[in-house]
């Protein structure tokens, strides 16, 4: 499983602007003496790298949380394989989707999302039903899970069957694989029922490729934005934030940089996001137009103003003042002191 963060603790302002920041200070010597005798012995941005490294580490799921989510995935898949295929496999006919597939999950853990692929015989059986076939299908999947987990809160609401557990939920999407590569039908219960075409693995591809061409910055930005979404109750779906992060990063001037530039990355993203109010993103694979509205715009404007102020504090090494502003955006996961 891909790592969500890497160790990045180089300090003394990235060994005196090793990552640029536009102006290279003049070193009076070489090696450690040169750093000590530099024209700027206390360089600006002294706390940025440590702060954002710690922030992203704080968003990592613990080993116990990862193990818990994996165990729940396996238990649900084993139950459904027993019901529909007569085996106890905890991995066949299923795969992660959402943040667990994209490696964009954060702590505290949210839902574990998965697709479970049903046999074509199940489609044929329900196709003979009168009324809402898709609702009947979801109720059957719900019943099979309820039999195995009688004390859990199991709900069926197309296209998802929600298995509510004590620590976090598992959202199961029953699906039928189509002949076209990695294309699936999932049940939709609204308006009398229908099937909709989905391409969830194309979403994973978009994140993976964007992260690769942008120095690993896309996933890190997404994880920080999810923290903002949670802390400030931002009315913008995580899926939309992911696609917006990809779009932003592909045009950001410093996309090849890393942690030393993350104060500017946050500042520039929020300023850019404001310009996207009332626009749309395209769903990978299906190219469905997804309108993102503008209910979230005021909170983006507030975050933009605070990030601008925090960047000024970071430049002047006002560690606590910068930390205060970042915490107003992201909460306590981003440290005030580093």
Report the interhelical angle of 238-251 vs 217-231 (nearest 10°).
140
Contact yes or no for 138/161 (Cβ under 8 A): yes
Sign of CA dihedral 280, 259, 318, 16: negative
| pLDDT band for position 168 (cuts 50, 70, 90) | confident
Supply the pLDDT for residue 19.
55
Measured between alpha carbons, how far is 138 from 188 in angstroms, rounded to an integer? 9
Nearest to 61 by CA among 333, 336, 335: 333
Measured between alpha carbons, how far is 248 from 225 in angstroms, rounded to an integer? 12
Q: Return the structure tokens found at 253.
A: 């001037």
Whole-structure pTM value: 0.89
pLDDT at 178 over 50: yes
Contact yes or no for 117/184 (Cβ under 8 A): yes
Strands 170-177 and 112-117: parallel
What is the percent of the chain where pLDDT is above 70? 87
Supply the pLDDT for residue 32.
42
| pLDDT band for position 38 (cuts 50, 70, 90) | very low
pLDDT digits (tens, 9 = 90+) for 295-325: 999 999 999 999 999 999 999 999 999 999 9
Fold of 63-198: Beta Polymerase; domain 2 (3.30.460)
| pLDDT band for position 2 (cuts 50, 70, 90) | very low
Q: Judge residue 30's burial from the number of C-beta atoms within 10 Å of its C-beta, 0-12 exposed, 13-18 middle, 19 or more buried.
A: exposed
Contact yes or no for 138/157 (Cβ under 8 A): yes
- What is the widest separation between alpha-carbon atoms in the chain? 84
Segment (H or E) for 171: strand 170-177
pLDDT at 3 over 70: no
Supply the pLDDT for residue 41.
61
pLDDT at 27 over 50: no
Residue ranges of E strands in 144-233: 153-157, 160-164, 170-177, 184-188, 194-198
Supply the pLDDT for residue 51.
98
pLDDT digits (tens, 9 = 90+) for 51-109: 999 999 999 999 999 999 999 999 999 999 999 999 999 999 999 999 999 999 999 88
Segment (H or E) for 209: helix 200-213
Q: Return the structure tokens found at 324.
A: 């205060």
- Between vectors from CA 267 to CA 5 and to CA 110, what angle results, nearest 5°? 45
Supply the pLDDT for residue 67.
95
pLDDT digits (tens, 9 = 90+) for 112-139: 999 999 999 999 999 999 999 999 999 9
pLDDT digits (tens, 9 = 90+) for 236-281: 999 999 999 999 999 999 999 999 999 999 999 999 999 999 999 9
**334 or 5, greater pLDDT:** 334
Supply the pLDDT for residue 1.
41
**130 or 41, greater pLDDT:** 130
pLDDT at 50 over 50: yes
Measured between alpha carbons, how far is 222 from 103 in angstroms, rounded to an integer? 10
| pLDDT band for position 28 (cuts 50, 70, 90) | very low
Supply the pLDDT for residue 181.
83
Any idea which residue has 């000024």 for tokens? 312
pLDDT digits (tens, 9 = 90+) for 195-239: 999 999 999 999 999 999 999 999 999 999 999 999 999 999 999
Contact yes or no for 174/159 (Cβ under 8 A): yes
User: What are the Cα distances from residue 143, in Å, to 15, 130, 150, 162?
Assistant: 60, 20, 10, 12
Contact yes or no for 201/113 (Cβ under 8 A): no
Q: Return the structure tokens found at 25.
A: 């200070």
| pLDDT band for position 177 (cuts 50, 70, 90) | very high
On average, the pLDDT of the chain sits at 89
Measured between alpha carbons, how far is 314 from 47 in angstroms, rounded to an integer? 7
CA atoms within 13 A on the CB side of 273: 32
Sign of CA dihedral 190, 244, 206, 97: negative
Measured between alpha carbons, how far is 280 from 27 in angstroms, rounded to an integer? 48
Specify which residues 33 forms β-bridges with: none
pLDDT at 10 over 50: yes
Supply the pLDDT for residue 167.
73
Supply the pLDDT for residue 169.
86
Report the interhelical angle of 120-127 vs 133-148 (nearest 10°).
130
């Amino acid at each position: 499983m891909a790592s969500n963060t890497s160790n990045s603790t180089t300090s003394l302002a990235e060994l005196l602007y090793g990552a640029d920041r536009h102006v290279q200070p003049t070193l009076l010597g070489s090696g450690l003496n040169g750093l000590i005798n530099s024209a700027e012995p206390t360089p600006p941005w002294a706390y940025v790298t440590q702060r954002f490294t710690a922030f992203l580490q704080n968003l990592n799921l613990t080993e116990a949380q990862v193990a818990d989510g994996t165990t729940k995935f396996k238990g649900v898949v084993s139950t459904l394989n027993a019901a529909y295929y007569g085996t106890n496999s905890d991995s066949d006919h299923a795969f992660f989707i959402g943040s667990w597939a994209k490696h964009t999950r954060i702590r505290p853990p949210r839902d574990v999302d998965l697709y479970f692929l049903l046999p074509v015989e199940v489609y044929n059986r329900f196709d003979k039903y009168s009324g809402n076939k898709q609702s009947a299908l979801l109720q059957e999947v719900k019943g099979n899970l309820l039999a195995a987990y009688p004390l859990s809160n199991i709900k069926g609401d197309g296209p998802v069957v929600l298995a509510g557990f004590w620590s976090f939920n598992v959202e199961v999407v029953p699906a039928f694989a189509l002949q076209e590569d990695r294309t699936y039908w999932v049940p939709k219960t609204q308006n009398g029922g229908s099937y909709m075409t989905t391409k969830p693995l194309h979403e994973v591809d978009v994140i993976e490729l964007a992260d690769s061409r942008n120095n690993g910055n896309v996933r890190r930005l997404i994880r920080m934005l999810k923290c903002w979404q949670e802390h400030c109750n931002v009315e913008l779906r995580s899926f939309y934030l992911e696609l917006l992060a990809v779009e932003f990063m592909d045009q950001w001037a410093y996309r090849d940089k890393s942690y030393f530039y993350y104060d500017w990355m946050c500042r520039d993203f929020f300023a850019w996001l404001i310009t996207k109010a009332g626009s749309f993103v395209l769903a990978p694979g299906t190219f469905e137009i997804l309108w993102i509205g503008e209910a979230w715009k005021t909170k983006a404007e507030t975050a933009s103003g605070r990030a601008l102020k925090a960047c000024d504090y970071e430049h002047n090494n006002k560690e606590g003042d910068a930390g205060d502003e970042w915490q107003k955006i992201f909460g306590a996961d981003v440290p005030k002191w580093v």
